[in-house]
Chain A
């Protein structure tokens, strides 16, 4: 299964980024082959709709599940249209979150926020 996590840097030791739409990078990780790829987030400097563009990137990379601390409603609409599972991170460690997913310990992200529109996050 291919999963995506918003991350602060291009390394497995870095932290989970607090923003989904405006994170600098995404980790794309294959739980079977254990191959990890880091993608630049082209939406990071968008004037608006960063979450939508970021979600489009996730969908285009055939990801099955997204692990994120939070997600806005527009991004969630795109991800749900593509049947991508949304999980909530347990802490800021990438490895902990991947391990928790493998052990079935992650819960679904249910509190979808209405967006910050340049006023936060």
Chain B
């Protein structure tokens, strides 16, 4: 089963939840789709990292063949091409690599070239296969990297955890597209509720079965819990705002590998999630 872990803002606990859930399974794959700043690998410290570069296709023009008809300029929905003073200009960063301009050029003046945008890495940390994508600094879209991570690496293990980027933009949609279940991590602040709402709207739009993990729980009122109760969202578990957990985490240690209490907490969360996913597969096959 593919389980995506997401949240509206950074620092809510996506990596904490996905790293620890992956670690309490017998065997699993952890895929870090937070390609702008992947940090799951800091906890797993995977061995035998295999590296692969990822590139996209962008158009390159042969000026001798270009007749200036502008069919490519008009075709591009992202306006990645401009025709200025008898010269075609290509904006590499704006191009979404659809290849349409090349197909429609009547003069065959456009061809493809590779542009390197990042890397994918795969390694092993005890029971977990760790897959990480990293987008090069300055690149505008990590979608091609996420596509590659989710297509090439999962090798049919029972559990696949997808650590999503924060927010609700294209890269998050790409990360949850094929997920069987979405875990939303939320913190007990008003800002947290605002972000929880955004992500909740997104998973509903994608018709994904979902539930919320309340992180950093304190005594007293929890605005995120209140939101879940109002919207009738399943609360999967609660993680306390706990100094010991904070210490382990900031030392890049995996809590469930260090401490039995956390092992029990995340094992029980895993059981709850597994049951939810199985229930979903029975009711919505």
Contact A78 B82 (CB under 8 A): yes
Interfacial residues of chain A within 43-93, with CB under 8 A of chain B in the complex: 43, 46-50, 52-53, 55-56, 59, 74, 77-78, 81-82
Instruction: Tell me which of B25-33, B46-54, B71-79 binds A.
Output: B71-79
Selected from A74, A81, A82, the residue in CB contact (under 8 A) with B94 is A74
A105 CB–B CB distance under 8 Å: no
Q: Which residues 65-93 in B have Cβ within 8 Å of A in the complex?
A: 73, 76-85, 87, 89, 91, 93
Q: A48-B79, A52-B80, A59-B82 are in contact. List 4 more A-B contacts (CB 8 A).
A: A49-B79, A49-B91, A55-B82, A59-B85
| CB-contact partner of A82 in B81, B84, B140, under 8 A | B84
Contact A81 B91 (CB under 8 A): no
Cα separation A78 to B178 with both chains bound (whole Å): 39
Name the residue of chain B whose CB is nearest to the CB of A55. B82
Q: For the complex, would chain A's binding face be called helix, strand, loop or mixed by DSSP majority?
A: helix
B119 to chain A, nearest CB (A): 23
CB pair B94 A78 closer than 8 Å: no
Task: Report A-chain residues with C-beta under 8 Å of the C-beta of B85.
Answer: 59, 81-82
Given A47-B77, A77-B89, A81-B89, are A52 and B83 neighbors across the interface (CB < 8 Å)? no
A30 to B81, CA, bound (A): 28
Give the B interface residue count (CB, 8 A).
Answer: 18
Complex: chain B residue closest to A53, CB-CB: B79
Q: How far is the CA of A24 from the CA of B148 in the complex (A)?
A: 39
Q: Is A113 at the interface (CB under 8 A from chain B)?
A: no
The number of chain A residues touching the other chain, given as a range, is: 10 to 19
A77 to B90, CA, bound (A): 11
**Is A117 an interface residue when CB atoms closer than 8 A count as contact?**
yes
Q: Return the 9 tightest CB-CB contacts between A and B, nearest first.
A: A49-B79, A53-B79, A48-B78, A52-B79, A81-B84, A49-B94, A56-B82, A78-B82, A49-B78
Q: What is the predominant secondary structure among interface residues of chain B facing chain A?
A: loop
* CB-defined contacts of B87 to chain A, threshold 8 Å: 81
How far is A51 from B91 in the complex, measured between Cα atoms in Å? 12
Interface residues of B in 229-269 (CB under 8 A from A): none
In the complex where A49-B78, A78-B82, A78-B89 touch, is A56 in contact with B73 (Cβ < 8 A)? yes
- B78 and A78 contact, CB distance less than 8 A: no
Residues of A contacting B84 in the complex (Cβ-Cβ under 8 angstroms): 56, 59, 78, 81-82
Judge whether A74 and B91 touch: CB under 8 Å.
yes
- Chain B residues near A59 (CB, 8 Å)? 82, 84-85
Listed A/B pairs (23) with beta-carbon separation below 8 Å: A43-B79, A46-B78, A47-B78, A48-B77, A48-B78, A48-B94, A49-B80, A49-B91, A52-B80, A52-B81, A52-B94, A53-B82, A55-B82, A56-B73, A59-B82, A59-B85, A77-B89, A78-B82, A78-B84, A78-B89, A81-B85, A81-B87, A117-B140
**Contact partners of B81 in chain A: CB under 8 A:** 52
Give chain A residues whose Cβ lies under 8 Å from the Cβ of B82. 52-53, 55-56, 59, 78
Interface centre among B79, B83, B85 (most CB of A within 10 A): B79
Residue from the set A52, A55, A56 with the largest chain B CB neighbour count within 10 Å: A52
**Which residues of B95-128 have CB atoms within 8 Å of chain A's CB atoms?**
96
Look across to chain A and name the residue whose beta carbon is closest to the beta carbon of B85.
A82
In the bound assembly, the distance between CA atoms of A74 and B140 in angstroms comes to: 13
Residue of B nearest to A75 (CB): B82
B93 (CB) vs chain A CBs: closest residue: A74
CB distance from A42 to the nearest CB of B (A): 10
- The CB with the most chain B CB atoms within 10 A, among A47, A48, A56, A74, is that of A48
